[in-house]
Amino acid sequence: MSLKSAITVRTLFVLVASLCFLVLVNFFTISSHLFLYARIISSYIQVQHRSNATSGESEYIQWLQEKSRARKANVQHARKNVSLHARGKWKVYSATYAKDDKNKSEIASNAQHNLIVSRNDRQDSCDNCFAHKFDYVIFSDSICKVIEGKAVELVIFIMTAHENNEQRNAIRQTWLTISKNNTANVRYAFILGETKDKSLREKIMLENSVHKDFLMENFIDSYSNLTLKTIMSFKYAANNCPNVKFVMKTDDDMYVNVPFLLELLRKHEKALQKAVGGSCTQKASPIRVQTSKWYASYQSFPHKYYPGFCSGTGYVTSLNVVRKVYEVSPNIPFFHLEDVYMSLCINTIGYKLLGLQGFNTGRPKLDPCLYKSFKLITSHGLSAHMQKSIWNGICSIF
């Protein structure tokens, strides 16, 4: 190899190395910019989604733009910080900037809060805006009545619809038999609102004259009024079940393994004085897709997260919690998803959501051995036929 070619190789190497260095440096700059623009674009998409929901639209866009600008300033600041740092001057600069930053974020969060408050969006709390002013159409004071001094441990409130007669009969004949027609340590009531359908209403009156296990109030019964049914149940428990220890809320298409539920409740008695138990998530986001069963508009819930919730398919708690929730509920504005509403109240009181084993929001395999074991406390979506076949099914292990 000649001297000349060695020099050329070295020059080439230096050239390539510097080129690589430049590309790398630029890559970081470009990617930080790309990231920034992606955030700005996503902010605009958020605005687009909101655009029909509220009147404070332009205010909100302004706030988002402010936020984007603040992000951009932060990136610039960070870059400046690096260069100052290199010159040993960052201390003074970052101290003043940090103060300024804190002030900015405070202003921004205040702005966001004021926006939410100033709009027609659902408020976090109110002064007696959701008082439960409904009257009973069907009432019985004997659901929780103590008989011959024997303790009543659990009352189960079962949300039902007028037409679900077959479902109700199936569970009366299966897992509800433990209540011995509301005379044992476990009690229950079917919870209903009003219907305009006269013949359906007649049928309910007839069914109630046989079983005397309904409670009905004079609000319109509908899926989006489920929250009213829960509050109605809690009102009943608070006023008419002073001796009951535990309360469960569930639906008429649920299987409940009551004997094992009782054991679980006794085990968690202390925790349940300040908690709701079941199949719970500690954090959840509202579903903004309009076709979803659980859709929540921005207006009905303007925050990014729910404070978690225990699935309304079946949750349990103590009479203490029921009383507290019933007390606080007039000041917690209506929200149509009953289980989320419950957790909004729980959150306000400062109580907890307690995940419990065996609470299923789906329907595990219809195996009598499973359904009669400690492994399963609730199962969801059983037809009348399924209830009976599980109940009468034989588990060869026992």
Ligand X SMILES: *[C@@H]1O[C@H](CO)[C@@H](O)[C@H](O)[C@H]1NC(C)=O
Q: Which residues bind ligand X (CB under 6 A)?
A: 49, 52, 77-78, 81, 85, 90, 94, 103, 180-181, 210, 219-220, 222, 224-225
Select 123 or 222, whichever has its Cβ closest to ligand X: 222
Select 63 or 219, whichever has its Cβ closest to ligand X: 219
CB 135, min distance to ligand X, A? 11
Q: Which residue type sits at 383? A: S
CB 358, min distance to ligand X, A? 27
Select 334 or 373, whichever has its Cβ closest to ligand X: 334
Select 77 or 145, whichever has its Cβ closest to ligand X: 77
Select 14 or 107, whichever has its Cβ closest to ligand X: 107
Question: Which residues have CB under 8 Å from 291's CB, separation 6+?
Answer: none
Select 20 or 126, whichever has its Cβ closest to ligand X: 126
Q: Which residue type sits at 7? A: I
CB 232, min distance to ligand X, A? 11
CB 318, min distance to ligand X, A? 27
- Tokens representing 101 are 């930053």
Kindly state the DSSP code that residue 299 receives in the 8-state scheme: T
Give the three-class secondary structure for 258: helix
Question: Measured on CA atoms in the order 351, 352, 357, 360, is the torsion positive or negative?
Answer: positive
CB 4, min distance to ligand X, A? 47
CB 87, min distance to ligand X, A? 12
Cα separations (Å) of 354 from 277, 332, 343? 4, 21, 11
- Tokens representing 366 are 């219809």
Query: Residue for token digits 């070619």?
Result: 5
Cα separations (Å) of 196 from 138, 162, 166, 189, 252? 15, 11, 21, 22, 21
- Please choose, from the candidates 225, 228, 218, 215, the residue with its C-alpha nearest in 3D space to the C-alpha of residue 187: 215
User: Rounded to whole angstroms, how far apart are CA atoms 353 and 308?
Assistant: 8
User: Rounded to whole angstroms, how far apart are CA atoms 35 and 234?
Assistant: 49
Alpha helices in 241-383 (DSSP H): 258-267, 319-328, 338-349, 368-371
User: Rounded to whole angstroms, how far apart are CA atoms 45 and 273?
Assistant: 44
CB 134, min distance to ligand X, A? 7
Kindly state the DSSP code that residue 147 receives in the 8-state scheme: B
User: Rounded to whole angstroms, how far apart are CA atoms 327 and 304?
Assistant: 27
Select 153 or 194, whichever has its Cβ closest to ligand X: 194
Select 105 or 282, whichever has its Cβ closest to ligand X: 105
SS3 content of the chain, % helix, strand, coil (to 5): 50, 15, 30
CB 274, min distance to ligand X, A? 31
CB 142, min distance to ligand X, A? 14
Select 46 or 373, whichever has its Cβ closest to ligand X: 46
